[in-house]
């Protein structure tokens, strides 16, 4: 995979990913990084992870629209 972690901020990770990897990064990589990478010892605590896909900071659109726009930009 060719994604890059751009910026970790408190409880968030900003990642730059090629459009063809974006959904896999969102569904597999981010949850692993945020929830499973470092186990919390002596607890059964399970952290929930929310993920959003954006092309620009603060741009809230659906994942499908985000990918559609990214592919349009590549054309």
The pLDDT, as a whole number, for residue 2 is 92
Calculate the dihedral angle through the C-alpha atoms of 18, 21, 26, 27, rounding to the nearest 10 degrees.
180
Query: Is 34 inside a domain boundary?
Result: yes
Query: Is 67 inside a domain boundary?
Result: yes
Residue 3 has pLDDT above 80, yes or no: yes
Residue 52 has pLDDT above 90, yes or no: no
Query: Is 55 inside a domain boundary?
Result: no
Query: Is 54 inside a domain boundary?
Result: no
Q: What is the pTM of this model?
A: 0.72
What is the residue range of 11's domain?
A: 1-38+60-75
The pLDDT, as a whole number, for residue 56 is 79
Q: How many domains, the chain?
A: 1
Query: Is 69 inside a domain boundary?
Result: yes
Question: Helix, strand or coil for residue 13?
Answer: strand
């Amino acid at each position: 995979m060719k994604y890059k972690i751009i910026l970790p901020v408190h409880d968030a990770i900003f990642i730059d990913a090629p459009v063809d990897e974006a959904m896999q990064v969102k569904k597999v990589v981010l949850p692993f990084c945020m929830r499973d990478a470092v186990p919390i010892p002596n607890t059964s605590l399970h952290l929930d992870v929310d993920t959003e896909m954006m092309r620009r900071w603060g741009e809230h659109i659906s994942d499908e629209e985000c990918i559609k726009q990214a592919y349009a930009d590549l054309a």
